[in-house]
Structures are given as C-alpha cells and as structure tokens.
C-alpha cells in the first residue's frame, strides 16, 4: 500500500480567528518550516494524487500551483484555500495542525485524555492575549514535552493521523479546481454547498482508489466542530439557524452525514483495493464516527453546552489529564496528593445535586492556591491552612464566595458558600485522584 506523505492540513472549511492568532508562531520559526513543508505537499500531489486520476483529470490538474506563504493575515491559524491562481497553504497553518497531531498522538499513547487538544482550539477561539504577548502555541499550551517525537510509537501514530489530513485537503481543493467551481461571492448558497459536497466526494473517491483508509478525518472534523460557530454563540436559536442558512461551506450535520454516507458507499472499492479486511472495518468505523460528530452538531443543547464550557476553559486547565478526570496538574506541578496539595477528585454538592469534580491544590507553607473543574465550569480558590482545615475564598465566572475544607482519613470534606457565607452553597467530598 502506498503511504501518503505525512503533513497535517486543514481545508478551507474551517473559520479563521482574525487578529492575534496571526502571531502564534514566530516568523523565524516558520521560515525554517517553509523549507520543509512544501516538498512533502508537492510530493503528495505529484506522486500520489495525480497517478490516482484518469488521464483527463491529470491533464487538467497537472499545472496547478501550490503556494506556501508564511502567513495569511486575518485567516490564521487555518489559512487553506483554492482560487484562480492555485491552492494556498500557509506555513503557520500547517505548523498549527502539525503540532495538534503530535499532541493527539503523545497524549493518547501516554494514557491521557485527548479532549484537551480540542479544548485548546475552543480556548483559542475565545481567548484574548495579554498586552504584548502571543497566544501560546499548541505544544506549550498542552504541556507536550519537546522530545515527544523521540518516542517511535508517538511518531508513527502522528504520521497516521496526518496522512488522511493532507490527502483530504489537497484532493478537496483539487476537486474545486477540476470542476471549475466559482468563488463564493454572488453564488447561491445551494450551489456553493453542492460544490463543497462534490469536492468532498472527489477527495474520498481518491482515498478508495489508492487503498488508504482516511485516517485523521475524525480528529479533523472534531477540530472543525470546536472551531466553528455553535448554538451558544448566538442569542437565540433563530439567529443560529439564520447563520447556518447563510454559510456557504459549513461543517454541519448535512455535510458530515453526506460524507459518512459516501464513506460507506465506497466500502466495496476498499474491499477490492485493500488485502487487509481490518482496513475495511477501520474505513466503516470512520464513517460511524463522522456520523456521531454530525449528531453532536445537530443538537442545540450540546452545542450550547460546548460553547459555554469553551468560554470557561483556562490555559492552566489544558494540562494533560487522565481519562475520566476533568483537570490535570498544571504544567510542571506535581499531581501527587498530599495534605492540601496535589490532585483530588470527588463530588461537589449543589442544592442537593451531585456533580463530579476535580481539584488541584498547590501549597506554599500555610498558603494554598488551587483550581477546580466540575464539568459545567471551572473555578479557582485561595486560602490559608488552619490546623487540619483550609479556609479559602473561591471564584468561578461571575460568582464568588468562601468555604472550608477539612482533612479526613479518606481525603477531604467541607462546605462552600456565596458571598461571606462558607456553607450556604453546598459541600465537597474529595479523595486523592486515582484512589
């Protein structure tokens, strides 16, 4: 089976964050990658995609120009598009998605949840940099070690995740060129969406022709879901629906279900080109997972929840965490539980209702600072140790109050309250994480 060269690209289907996201990466760093990324992309085009086409398509696409500017102002970090002059893929955008692929591979193979990768994309969407500072690049924000790719398994998995990305975006954009799709200005929404579906189908058909399962499509569309505008970004469902109706090439339920259906319909072609039956099963599993993303995007309540949570994500909450945990120890901090330090989990009681909660505490003498996540939101606390108790103030969004945590043989128990009260809000029950 021919291997697609490993680069992680996004298609023009993703929205861009104008302004601060243009400067996530330093120009000198991007200049180094500008001497490496183009060779891989061109090799994909010339050595893999073109040979998979029939002669008329090859003749029509052979002269397509691929452009690799360092950045595209106002469109980073997802600046990928086709126009009459060829296909543009900015180095900054390739670098962004390359880093995200490395993060996914390292987290998964080291036993951590991969949710933080998508939460970083959500955080980036809403975050505003401090004066004079850049928004942090993915690997630093996600606490991925600098030598992550020294692990052969991580490098291998990252390659597999990336292969499907570059192939899909190149083939999708080449589909627009081949079918001579016009731009979006003045073109009816129904026509632009039809063009997007045609380009999607063209890309997926090439996967079947070369016998490659479209690995990486699921994280790609997950990133799309977190990056795009959701129900929670609008004041009413009517406004949200109106915005969906205006979009020319959204990643929405309709488009994803069409992709999933096309993947299933292409399975017979895979049975002919793939000697390994497991590869066909992977292909069909990808279709099921894309369908699941479509269902999530179609659920207004889930969209509102994701948007609300995305607005509350903090940079420190993006640290690696174990599956089932809602919070990990911040970068460089010890998660080992001790008296009023380390990582703890349990339940937060609010008006008699129980919510799972994760609490990280850092102790400096008798002073303790911490952060907590209870699923629907995140908060911080700060306090002083008084014997076997911690007396603290807490804050979560616009709300704040006081509370008390007491050491117990199994962990902690305590109360919290609003304003000056320490107990009118509810209670904590915590144990060392992992117990």
Q: Which residue has the tokens 């500008």?
A: 34
Percent of the chain with pLDDT over 90: 36
The residue out of 268, 284, 315 marking a domain boundary is 315
- Whether residues 268 and 369 fall in one domain: no
Report CA torsion sign: 103, 104, 105, 110.
positive
Q: Is the pLDDT of residue 302 over 90?
A: no
Reported confidence tier of residue 339, pLDDT bands at 50, 70, 90: confident
In the prediction, which pLDDT does 246 show?
Answer: 75
**pLDDT (average), residues 93-103:** 90
- Whether residues 396 and 303 fall in one domain: no
- Whether residues 259 and 213 fall in one domain: yes
Run of H or E including 257: helix 253-265
**pLDDT (average), residues 289-302:** 86
Strand pairing report for 367-373 and 353-364? antiparallel
- Whether residues 395 and 304 fall in one domain: no
Q: Is the pLDDT of residue 145 over 50?
A: yes
In the prediction, which pLDDT does 249 show?
Answer: 66
Q: What is the pLDDT of residues 223-232, one digit of tens each?
A: 877 777 777 7
Q: In 181-246, which ranges are continuous DSSP H helix? A: 189-210, 217-227, 237-246
Closest CA to 6 of 34, 43, 32, 35: 43
Q: Is the pLDDT of residue 3 over 60?
A: no
With respect to residue 161, please indicate whether it lies within any of the assigned structural domains: yes
By the 8 A CB rule, do 7 and 94 touch?
A: yes
With respect to residue 50, please indicate whether it lies within any of the assigned structural domains: yes
For residues 411 and 126, the model is more confident at 411
In the prediction, which pLDDT does 13 show?
Answer: 39
Run of H or E including 52: helix 50-52
In the prediction, which pLDDT does 413 show?
Answer: 93
**pLDDT (average), residues 277-296:** 84
The residue out of 253, 287, 315 marking a domain boundary is 315
Query: Using CA atoms, how far apart are residues 266 and 385, in angstroms rounded to an integer?
Result: 63
With respect to residue 5, please indicate whether it lies within any of the assigned structural domains: no
Reported confidence tier of residue 202, pLDDT bands at 50, 70, 90: very high
In the prediction, which pLDDT does 6 show?
Answer: 32
In the prediction, which pLDDT does 16 show?
Answer: 45
Spatial CB neighbours of 32, under 8 Å, sequence gap ≥ 6? none
With respect to residue 409, please indicate whether it lies within any of the assigned structural domains: yes
With respect to residue 212, please indicate whether it lies within any of the assigned structural domains: yes
Q: What is the pLDDT of residues 27-77, one digit of tens each?
A: 999 999 999 999 989 999 999 999 999 999 999 999 999 999 999 988 887
With respect to residue 266, please indicate whether it lies within any of the assigned structural domains: yes
- Whether residues 29 and 111 fall in one domain: yes
Considering its fold, how many domains does the chain have in total?
A: 2
Reported confidence tier of residue 379, pLDDT bands at 50, 70, 90: confident
In the prediction, which pLDDT does 377 show?
Answer: 77
b/e 281-320 (16+ beta carbons within 10 angstroms → b): eebbebbebbbebbebbeeeebbbbbbebbbbbebbbbbb
Query: Using CA atoms, how far apart are residues 44 and 410, in angstroms rounded to an integer?
Result: 57
In the prediction, which pLDDT does 2 show?
Answer: 33
**pLDDT (average), residues 153-159:** 93
In the prediction, which pLDDT does 406 show?
Answer: 94
- Whether residues 115 and 181 fall in one domain: yes
The residue out of 315, 347, 366 marking a domain boundary is 315
Query: Using CA atoms, how far apart are residues 195 and 175, in angstroms rounded to an integer?
Result: 9
**pLDDT (average), residues 182-207:** 85
Query: Using CA atoms, how far apart are residues 183 and 168, in angstroms rounded to an integer?
Result: 20
- Whether residues 341 and 357 fall in one domain: yes
For residues 385 and 378, the model is more confident at 385
With respect to residue 96, please indicate whether it lies within any of the assigned structural domains: yes
Query: Using CA atoms, how far apart are residues 416 and 227, in angstroms rounded to an integer?
Result: 35
- Whether residues 283 and 341 fall in one domain: no
CA 344, distance to chain mean position in Å, is 26
- Whether residues 300 and 353 fall in one domain: no
Reported confidence tier of residue 8, pLDDT bands at 50, 70, 90: very low
b/e 80-113 (16+ beta carbons within 10 angstroms → b): bbbeeeebbbbbbbbbbbbbbbbbbbbbbeeebb
Closest CA to 230 of 126, 327, 316: 126
Q: Is the pLDDT of residue 280 over 80?
A: no
**pLDDT (average), residues 176-191:** 83
Strand pairing report for 378-386 and 353-364? unpaired
Reported confidence tier of residue 1, pLDDT bands at 50, 70, 90: very low
- Whether residues 144 and 277 fall in one domain: yes
Q: Is the pLDDT of residue 221 over 90?
A: no
In the prediction, which pLDDT does 210 show?
Answer: 85
Strand pairing report for 86-89 and 367-373? unpaired
In the prediction, which pLDDT does 272 show?
Answer: 67
432: β partners: 344
Lowest mean pLDDT among 201-215, 259-273, 397-411: 259-273
**pLDDT (average), residues 115-136:** 78
Give the CATH number, domain containing residue 419: 2.40.160
With respect to residue 2, please indicate whether it lies within any of the assigned structural domains: no
- Residue 10 burial (C-beta neighbours within 10 Å; 0-12, 13-18, 19+): buried
Residue 141 vs residues 24, 92, 119, 222, 308: alpha-carbon distances, Å: 11, 16, 11, 19, 20
Spatial CB neighbours of 180, under 8 Å, sequence gap ≥ 6? none
What is the domain range of residue 414?
322-432
- Whether residues 178 and 155 fall in one domain: yes
pLDDT averaged over the chain? 84
Query: Using CA atoms, how far apart are residues 171 and 180, in angstroms rounded to an integer?
Result: 14
Q: What is the pLDDT of residues 391-431, one digit of tens each?
A: 999 998 788 999 999 999 888 999 999 999 999 999 999 98
Percent of the chain with pLDDT over 70: 90
- Whether residues 347 and 376 fall in one domain: yes
């Amino acid at each position: 089976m021919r291997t697609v060269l490993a680069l992680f690209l996004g298609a023009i289907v993703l929205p861009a964050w104008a302004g601060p996201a243009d400067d996530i990466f330093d120009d000198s760093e991007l200049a180094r990658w500008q001497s490496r990324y183009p060779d891989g992309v061109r090799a994909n085009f010339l050595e893999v995609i073109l040979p998979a086409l029939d002669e008329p398509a090859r003749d029509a696409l052979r002269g397509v120009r691929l452009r690799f500017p360092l950045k595209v102002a106002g469109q980073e970090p997802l600046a990928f598009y086709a126009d009459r002059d060829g296909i543009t893929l900015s180095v900054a955008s390739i670098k962004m998605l390359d880093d995200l692929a490395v993060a996914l591979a390292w987290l998964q193979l080291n036993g951590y949840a991969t949710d933080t990768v998508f939460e970083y994309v959500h955080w980036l969407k809403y975050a505003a940099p401090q004066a004079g500072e850049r928004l942090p690049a993915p690997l630093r924000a996600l606490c991925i070690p600098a030598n992550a790719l020294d692990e052969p398994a991580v490098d291998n998995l990252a390659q597999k995740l990336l292969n499907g990305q570059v192939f899909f975006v190149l083939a999708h954009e080449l589909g627009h060129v081949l079918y001579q799709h016009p731009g979006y200005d003045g073109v009816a929404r129904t026509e632009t969406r039809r063009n997007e579906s045609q380009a999607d189908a063209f890309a997926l058909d090439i996967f079947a022709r070369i016998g490659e399962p479209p690995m990486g499509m699921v994280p790609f569309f997950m990133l799309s879901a977190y990056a795009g505008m959701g129900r929670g970004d609008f004041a009413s469902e009517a406004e949200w629906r109106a915005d969906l109706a205006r979009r020319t090439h959204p990643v929405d339920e309709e488009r994803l279900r069409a992709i999933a259906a096309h993947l299933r319909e292409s399975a017979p072609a895979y049975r002919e080109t793939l000697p390994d039956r497991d590869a066909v099963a992977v292909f069909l599993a990808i279709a099921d997972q894309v369908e699941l993303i479509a269902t999530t995007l179609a659920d207004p309540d889930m969209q509102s929840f994701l948007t609300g949570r995305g607005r509350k994500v903090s940079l420190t909450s993006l640290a690696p965490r174990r599956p089932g945990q809602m919070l990990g120890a911040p970068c460089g901090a010890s998660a080992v539980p001790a008296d009023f330090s380390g990582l703890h989990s349990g339940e937060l009681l609010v008006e008699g209702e129980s919510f799972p909660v994760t609490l990280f505490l850092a102790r400096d003498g008798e002073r303790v600072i911490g952060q907590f996540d209870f699923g629907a939101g995140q908060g911080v606390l700060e306090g002083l140790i008084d014997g076997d108790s911690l007396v603290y103030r807490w804050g979560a969004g616009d709300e704040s109050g006081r509370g008390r945590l007491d050491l117990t043989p199994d962990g902690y128990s305590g109360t919290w309250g609003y304003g000056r009260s320490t107990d009118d809000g509810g209670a904590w029950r915590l144990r060392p994480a992992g117990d």
